[in-house]
Structure 1
Amino acid sequence: MRRLLLPLLALTLTACPGAGPAADALDKVKARGKLIVAMDVGYDPFEVLDPDAGTPVGYDVDLVQAFAKHLGVEVEYKNVAWNSIVGVLQTGKADVIVSGMSVTPERQKTIDFSRPYYYVGQVVVKRKGDARIKGLADLNEKGMIVAVQESTTGEQAVRENAPEAELLRFAKTDMACMAVIQEKADAVVFDRPYLEKYVRDQRPDELEGIWEPFTAEAIAAAFRKDSGLLRQAFDATIEELAASGELDALVAKHFGEAAVADQQAKRAAAPAQAPAPAEDPAPAETGK
């Protein structure tokens, strides 16, 4: 995917007081008057390009808008290929990644995460009527070909749980799905929200899912290590949205009413902050 700089989304907002001399990246954002957000646009329903407006829309976008309102700034979106997105953040070309990123111990070595704002899991999608595949275990056989988006937790999940399978890596998950339809692969593994919407809306006659997730992942915003107060401001935004009921309304808007109770239960059971990395974390790909 080529990098695309999308137009500024101007907001009429009220500034909030500065956080003091140690405000790090927060001071820079407020002085600039603009929050620069890195996204891999095309991860529906988290973020997708509105073809008419030419700007991103989705769950992540609504959260960013609320965050910008909290800060009193405008927003600039950078559409970045997924395998480059952490580098864009670390080199200072963006202030934050809000793009359906899963928290992993490996990532926590180099970037900091906000409190989780959604919970997902990996699922298997296959050709409709393919009786050979009833679950993840059926992929762990020589001769099975599994399509994945490169550098994602879906790829890592297949490596860990179906090591006998051959991997076909693609830049985008829709390309991986097409490989299954074209019988170049037997199944695709990726996050349930994206695959469920893709199959339902675009390929209901060709693909079907095994919708029980086999992983449990927390989605959070990613920040550089010098962005502690900016991260805390994002956390405060999520807390405000949760307390007011607006977060549940956004979940219903983008994922359906049935997702609200599920997300409420997972938020209640999970720690408010993304857990610290283990001392010796298992290797993990940088991805969704």
Structure 2
Amino acid sequence: MKTKWLKTLGMGLALSAAAGAAQAENLRVVTDPSFVPFEMMDQATGKMIGFDMDILAEVSKRAGFEYDLNTMDFNGIIPALQTGNVDMALAGITITEEREKIVDFSDPYYDSGLRILVRADNDQVDEISDLEGAKIGTKIGSTSYNFLMDTLEQDGNVTPYPGSSDMYMALMSGAVDAVFYDAPNVGYFSSTRGQGRTKTVGPLYEGQQYGIALKQGSPWVDEVNAALAEIKEDGTYKAIYEKWFGKMPGSE
């Protein structure tokens, strides 16, 4: 009897361990739905698409995990990782020393920076110093907001918006004089919905690198890094990049 009970118990523990392993391989991933062209909602299918979404699909396949994808405002992503409510996030997240203290990051997968966007008829702004005293829109929780707070002496007119579409609408309507945000995002807006009505000006500020963010102590960091290295090596990354941004810098 005792032997049979121990055998049954052993089988139960093994099944429990296997179930736990299977559960661990289905990661909770979040993204910000408004950071085009990195992540955005396809209105026809109701699914998230974009550069980050293609990177996530390739990384998950090669690293060996499945995932449940959900969306949230950008300013909630790092806290969600910090509390362990989610396992991973891709949302054009800049790797910073402050964030590295509370979450883990993959190796960088995208080089970026910050840029100014103004209305097409604005010839008064050429660089960040020209924004002193101007009404500026940026995004809540972003490095662009922190940069403005650290750089401008007159920062009382900086308005942080919850989504990038909100700050672009504010610019188009005249509620703000300029938007200061991640260069690929403002460039994409200016060449699509804002074409002919907006323009990017000035240099690229504060060179940045995006990373895949994971909850601190995640066992998936090495696998994610290996997958990123693999897609860069075999040309998959280049194909994804050029799908969303055009010719990849430095490519033949």
The TM tier, using the shorter chain, reads 0.7 to 0.9
Matched, 1:204 2:206: no
Aligned partner of residue 180 in structure 1, secondary structure: helix
Moved over 3 A (4+): 27-33
2:221 to 214, 224, 231: 231
Matched, 1:42 2:34: yes
> Structure 2, unaligned stretches of length 5 or more?
1-18
Q: CA deviation at 1:100?
A: 0.8
The structure number with the bigger radius of gyration is 2
Q: Which has the higher helix share?
A: 2
Q: CA deviation at 1:30?
A: 4.3
What is the CA–CA distance in structure 2 between the aligned matches of 1:71 and 1:167, rounded to whole Å?
41
TM-align CA RMSD: 1.9
Aligned residues with identical type, % of pairs: 23
1:20-169 matched pairs, under 5 angstroms: 30-139=22-131, 141-142=132-133, 144-165=134-155, 166-169=157-160
What is the CA–CA distance in structure 1 between the aligned matches of 2:100 and 2:21, rounded to whole Å?
23
Inter-CA distance 30–212: structure 2 relative to 1 (3 Å threshold) = farther
Q: Which has the higher strand share?
A: 2
Aligned partner of residue 209 in structure 1, secondary structure: strand
What is the CA–CA distance in structure 1 between the aligned matches of 2:200 and 2:182, rounded to whole Å?
11
Note if contact 2:63-2:227 (Cα within 8 Å) is conserved in structure 1.
no
What is the CA–CA distance in structure 1 between the aligned matches of 2:20 and 2:80, rounded to whole Å?
17
What is the CA–CA distance in structure 2 between the aligned matches of 1:162 and 1:201, rounded to whole Å?
29
Deviates more, 1:202-211 or 1:107-116: 202-211
What is the CA–CA distance in structure 2 between the aligned matches of 1:133 and 1:29, rounded to whole Å?
55
What is the CA–CA distance in structure 2 between the aligned matches of 1:67 and 1:93, rounded to whole Å?
21
Task: Tell me the TM-score normalised to structure 1 length.
Answer: 0.76
* Partner of residue 240, structure 1: 230
Aligned residue type for 2:243: K
* Partner of residue 250, structure 2: 261
Number of aligned positions between the proteins: 233
Note if contact 1:120-1:219 (Cα within 8 Å) is conserved in structure 2.
yes
> Structure 1, unaligned stretches of length 5 or more?
1-26, 265-288
Note if contact 2:73-2:163 (Cα within 8 Å) is conserved in structure 1.
no
Inter-CA distance 112–33: structure 2 relative to 1 (3 Å threshold) = closer
Q: CA deviation at 1:211?
A: 5.7
Aligned residue type for 2:230: E
* Partner of residue 15, structure 2: none
Note if contact 2:63-2:224 (Cα within 8 Å) is conserved in structure 1.
no
Note if contact 1:49-1:55 (Cα within 8 Å) is conserved in structure 2.
yes
Note if contact 1:60-1:99 (Cα within 8 Å) is conserved in structure 2.
yes
Note if contact 1:38-1:88 (Cα within 8 Å) is conserved in structure 2.
no
Show CA shifts across 1:240-266 (max 9, x none).
Answer: 011111111111111111x3428x9xx
